[in-house]
Amino acid sequence: MSASARPIATTRSTAGMPTGRLAVWWVIASEIVIFGGLLGSYIMFRLSHDSFAAEAANTNMYVGAFNTWVLLTSSLFAVLGHKAAEEGNGPKAAKMLYLTFGGGLIFLLVKTWEWSEKISHGHTLSSSTFFSFYYTAAGLHALHVIAGMVIMAIVAQTAKRNLELHRVELIGIYWHFVDLVWIFLFPLLYIAK
Amino acid sequence: MATAPVHHETHDDHGHARAGFIRHYFFSTDHKMIAMQYMFTGMAMALIGGFFAYAFRMQLAFPGMDVPGFGVVSANEYNHLITNHGAIMIFWVAMPVLIAAFGNYLIPLMIGCDDMVFPKLNRLSYQIFLLSALILIASFFVPGGGFAGAWTMYPPLSTKPEFGLTPLGATLFVVAVGVEFVAFLLGGINFVTTAMNSRAPGMRMYDIPMVVWMIVIASILFMGSVGPLVAGAVMLIFDQNFGTAFFDPTRGGDPVLWQHLFWFFGHPEVYVVLLPAVGIVAEIITVFSRKKLFAYRTVLYTAFGTGVLSFMVWAHHQFIAGIDPRMANIFTITTLLISIPVAEMLFVYIATLFGGSITFTTPMLWALSFIATFLIGGVTGIFLGASGADIYLHDTYFVLAHFHYTFFPIAIIGTFAGITFWFPKMFGRMMNERLGKIHFWGTVIAFNCIFIPLFVVGVAGEHRRIYDFTNFPELARPALRNLDEFATISLLVMLAFQPIFLFNLFYSMFRGPKAPKNPWNSNTLEWSADSPPPHGNWPELPRVYRGPYEYSVPGREQDYWPQNAPN
Amino acid sequence: MIEMLGLPAASSFADDIDMVFSVIFWIVFFWFLLAEGVFFYLIFRFRKKEGVRAQYITGELKSEKRWITIPHNLILVFDVIIVIAAVKVWYTVKQDLPDAPDKQIVRIVAQQWAWTFVHPGPDGQLDTPDDIAKINELHVQVDRLHHFQLESKDVVHSFSVPVFRLKQDAIPGRVITGWFTPTKTGEYDIQCTEICGVGHALMPARIFIETADQHAAWVASNSSVSVASATVR
């Protein structure tokens, strides 16, 4: 027992699911409620304030659609990475994770450009309640993208050496969740006008 | 496992022994050490919260007096004291002690494994929690003073410095609460995963001790309810500092939205701290009445029922807050419905005592007093859940006395019950029974003397959060003032009894008689480990053969039957 | 029961609210005494005695569970009674807005840390030049229906008249309408019951409940010196 750095507790799976996967699902469950609270508040406002529709017209649906496509594609790479990890092919899994990472990076770059443009047109965090929600919700989501990318880089480093391959699946689940949040944000912030 | 990885935090330049000390007490990943860290941090915060209560109660009873140890309490200081008393007692005392300390200590030991599933995450959650406590304490000393807009943080008072007068304090307060939530989310994920996945071989669903169930359900409730408030806290901080207007009615926001986000969390939060205390009481009354827990599954289902219903009652805090009056009817019904599972839980405990062989040890006295006093908290809640009566009682001292009759049994009585019961396991020594009983009677009698009068002044119309009643002729009546004085003097008596506990705790920790492995002849797994258990808990992890409450089984010579005994 | 504590009931619905309180009190008190009585009896009866072993009762049998399910159902019944009583009063006070030809409308504006009460002048209309605005003084006429329009200029306040048993939060950005009919003459407290900053304890106001003649005299003596509307908004 002293030889292993991991307690025996971690290796058990009474619930029939590996501990890591179980924990990621609980992380996601608690994240859903956070985003749920924010988006729920947004929807309440949206329904009771007509001015939101006019403000929402200032968002660029095409940029949002492009970013949706980027994120979905990156999720595909995450799935391929998981598949490679299942086959025991660490280096390939790492490569797929780097591609996923790249997707996240493109997403953030587009977002940066989009936000700079919005700000230069006078749509800032405090210019209207719609834009307050726009920046808060998308910003909170972007933080999750960044966190996911950092973890993904670390996981890829170990996976390359064929170590801790089960982590590829875990970061994949998380990445799908981040993706899913965007699937909710996109229609709410960009399409509904 | 015993060789914890070396961290960059360890200061090698302090010499070997010192590095070892720091690593052992501050950067340990051992669940028991982390539990102790939570417990002692919680106790330290309780001293602060208690001191605040002392200062503002003195001001209330004797307006304008120079409070010994504090000075004259100004109106702003009064608001600051009540705000932080509430926040500290709930977020930095009840939560860390009941959920984090007992959860960390008991879950691995009671389900028979060597640690939490994520020991480093566990350590991180404590460190984040400590950070939140430090941020809160720092907020008392910033220019403008600590936040003074009540722990509910209703905007616009909390968002605009020109109204609240605490520009920095308000932000730091919200940040501290938010950081604390992160700590408990991490901790909760750890608890739930550990309890779900790492049970000892042979331990089925219904073999899990009740306290573990309760802490797990509480963690899930916390996770399910805190999210909107985390989002709300972000929005509030943005409103305070970055010019957004989520809650600012002058620019299209809505202050009532915050109240919904807050109470959607705030009400389940009551059950988040209630359930662990209820679990602790279940463990204690079964051991000291030598009885099987009456209807184990019923207790479990009532806990589930309470949990589900607790998400549907939040707006009873807002009956008169300008919500649609039709909504109040729905929330009256759900609120009264929740009385059923909670009452049933208490009935189960009372039924458990039937046919028992009760010994009145200190932990048992605490557990029994939990039932007796929480009952008062429960029944007085009916008045406030009933919308018609709440029109009058809202925000009076009746409300205050009601929730102190729930939170005091939970956070103080429940904690003392737990500490006195598991002390032999935690520190390998026995506590002094005589001192324990003196402390018990002094605390419980004084507690009732504080809050029974406050029910009366509440019904007579006295309102909360007013630092001096002299401006209100109806509240300045001598009869009410005398009751307030009586309550304050009772508080002084209660506080005077607390050093006895602290002395007993620390004296017994080092000088008490050595405790055997299983001093109370209890069934659950933690009593089969050494006292105190070493890192890793057991040389060989136990196996479970039966449920936790097999006391006085007919045909057996002993009146207990440990879960890990093969026959 | 509330009146016994020295607080007269001075509105048409105050007695109803007191009634709900009493109904709940007696129901709850009965259950409380019963539960504590059984509890202390059991503790005493089953204290440890030499040579007596505890019984083994699982509580899973139907015959045993009765001890839980019967009180459970009884509580449900009493809950229903309480809900009906509470909702009935709630409907009267908060949901319903009775109307009468001679109703009086007053505007109540809360701010840090004062109340402004705008009374209609001799013409009985608000927002006319003869409005009477008073700081921390509300003058109403006994046995006459009043509607109030509650506003807040800054933070959340709460308008409470203990003798009416009436309480309503004032939310900035909203106008909340409610009603009351005073039934006793006299001078009573108005209190702010939602923490509103450092001066929360410095927001006392008084309500003057006057007979028709007194009220008419008060209106007459104030209508000429109306500085009114301009200072209100």
ipTM of the complex: 0.93
Write the Ramachandran bin of B64: left for phi over 0, alpha for psi from -120 to 50, otherwise beta: left
> Which one, of B83, B244, B48, B251, lies nearest residue B169 by Cα?
B83
Q: If you search the block for the tokens 């587009």, which residue do you land on? A: A110
In sequence order, what are the residues at sequence separation of 6 or more whose Cβ sits closer than 8 angstroms to the Cβ of residue B117? A7, A9, A10, A19, A23, B190, B193, B194, B197, B198
pLDDT above 70 for B356: yes
In which band, very low, low, confident or very high, does the pLDDT at A5 lie, cut at 50, 70 and 90? low
CB A172 within 8 A of CB A156: no
Query: Is the domain covering C104-232 a CATH 3.30.70.260 domain?
Result: no
Q: Inter-chain contact C21–B383, Cβ cutoff 8 Å?
A: yes
Q: Check whether B8 has a pLDDT greater than 50.
A: no
Per-residue pLDDT tens digits for B497-515:
999 999 999 999 999 999 9
State residue C130 phi and psi, 5-degree precision: -90, 15
Given a contact cutoff of 8 angstroms between Cβ atoms, the answer to whether B527 and B512 are in contact is no
Measure in Å the smallest separation between the Cα of B165 and chain C Cα atoms. Answer: 8
**A8 with B243: Cβ contact below 8 A:** no
Which residue, chain included where needed, has tokens 């007459």? Answer: C220
C224 pLDDT above the threshold of 80:
no
CB B163, CB C154: distance < 8 Å: yes
Domains along the sequence of chain A with CATH: 17-191 (1.20.120.80)
Using the Cα atoms of residue C90, residue C92, residue C93 and residue C96 in order, give the sign of their dihedral.
positive
Architecture of domain C3-95: Orthogonal Bundle (1.10)
Q: What is the distance between the alpha carbons of residues B101 and B491, in angstroms, rounded to a whole number?
A: 26
Average pLDDT value over all residues in chain B? 92
CB contact under 8 A, B115 and A9: yes
Spell out the alpha helix ranges (H) of B408-477: 414-427, 433-459
B215 and B301 in contact (C-beta within 8 Å)? no
Q: B and A: touch, per 3+ CB pairs < 8 A?
A: yes
pLDDT of residue A15: 86
- Rounded to an integer, what distance in angstroms lies between the CA atom of residue B482 and that of residue B453? 10
Residue B290 pLDDT: 95
Strands C157-161 and C186-192: antiparallel
CA atoms of B388 and B528, how far apart (whole Å) = 53
Name the DSSP class of C47: B
Q: Which comes out higher in pLDDT, residue C184 or A8?
A: C184
Which of A2, A6, A10 is the best substitution to test chain B (most B C-beta atoms within 10 A)?
A10
pLDDT over 80 at C223, yes or no: no
Closest CB to B332 among C71, C87, C195 = C87
pLDDT tens per residue across span B112-133? 999 999 999 999 999 999 999 9
pLDDT at C230: 43
| Cβ–Cβ contact B44 with C under 8 A | no
| Percent share of chain B, pLDDT over 90 | 89
- Cβ atoms of residues A165 and A90 within 8 Å: yes
Q: Could you read off the pLDDT of A135-185 as tens digits, one per residue?
A: 999 999 999 999 999 999 999 999 999 988 999 999 999 999 999 999 999
Is B228 within 8 Å of A2 when comparing Cβ atoms?
no
Q: Where are the alpha helices (DSSP H) in B112-166?
A: 119-139, 161-164
Summarize chain C as % helix, strand, coil (round to 5): 40, 25, 35
Strand ranges for chain C from DSSP E: 104-111, 114-119, 132-135, 137-141, 146-152, 157-161, 166-170, 176-180, 186-192, 205-210
- Asked whether the predicted pLDDT for residue B197 surpasses 60, the reply is yes
Residue B108 token pair: 């691995």
Cα–Cα distance measured from residue B447 to residue B456, given in angstroms and rounded to the nearest whole number: 15
Query: Which of C111, C153, C200 to probe by mutation at the B interface, max B CB count within 10 Å?
Result: C200
| Chain B adjacent subunits, 3+ CB pairs under 8 A | A, C
Lowest mean pLDDT among A6-20, B16-30, C195-209: B16-30
DSSP string, B87-109: HIIIIIIIIIIIIIIHHHHHHHH
So what's the pLDDT on residue C231?
Answer: 46
Q: What is the pLDDT of residues C30-49, one digit of tens each?
A: 999 999 999 999 999 999 99
Model confidence band, residue C225 (pLDDT cutoffs 50, 70, 90): low
Distance of alpha carbon A160 from alpha carbon A149, whole angstroms: 16
Across the interface, whether the CB atoms of A9 and B244 are under 8 A apart is answered no
**Cβ neighbour number for residue B357 with a 10 Å cutoff:** 20
Domain spans, chain C: 3-95, 104-232
* Residue B522 in tokens: 């209890």
Query: What is the reported pLDDT for C233?
Result: 41
pTM: 0.93
Q: How far off is chain C from B322, nearest CA to CA, in Å?
A: 6
| Structural domain boundaries in chain B | 29-528
Amino acid type, B440: F
User: How far apart, in whole angstroms, are the C-alpha atoms of residue B22 and residue B31?
Assistant: 16
- pLDDT confidence band for B12 (50 / 70 / 90): very low
Distance from CA of A144 to the nearest CA of B (A): 14
Band of residue B27 on the pLDDT scale cut at 50, 70, 90: confident
Q: What is the mean pLDDT of chain A?
A: 92
A interface with B, Cβ–Cβ < 8 A, is 1-2, 4-10, 12-15, 17, 19, 22-23, 26-27, 29-38, 40-41, 44-45, 49, 51, 125-126, 128-129, 132-133, 136, 140
Whether residue B298 lies within 8 A of chain C, CB to CB, comes out as: yes
Q: At what angle do helices B325-353 and C62-90 cross, to 10 degrees?
A: 150
Give me chain C's average pLDDT, please.
Answer: 91
CA distances from B144 to B83, B151, B372, C151 (A): 15, 17, 43, 29
The closest CB to that of C56, out of B255, B391, B553, belongs to: B553
Region C85-105: what's the mean pLDDT? 94
B464 or B18: whose pLDDT is higher? B464
Chain B residue numbers touching C161 (CB-CB < 8 A): none
Structure tokens at C222: 């104030």
Q: At residue B18, does pLDDT exceed 60?
A: no
Structure confidence at residue C51 (pLDDT): 87
Q: Mutating which of A2, A14, A125, A126 best tests the B interface, going by the most B Cβ atoms within 10 A?
A: A14
Rounded average pLDDT over B80-101: 96
Residues B398-416 pLDDT 10s:
999 999 999 999 999 999 9
Judged against a pLDDT cut of 50, whether residue A4 lies above it is answered with: no
Q: Which pLDDT score, from 0 to 100, does residue A150 have?
A: 97
Domain B29-528 is in which class?
A: mainly alpha
Quote the pLDDT of residue B25: 77
CA A182 to chain B, closest CA, distance in angstroms equals 16
- Measured between beta carbons, the chain C residues lying within 8 angstroms of B389 are 17, 20-21, 24, 86, 89
In this predicted structure, what is the pLDDT of residue B19? 56
Is the pLDDT at A192 greater than 60, yes or no? yes
In the 8-state DSSP scheme, what is residue B14? G
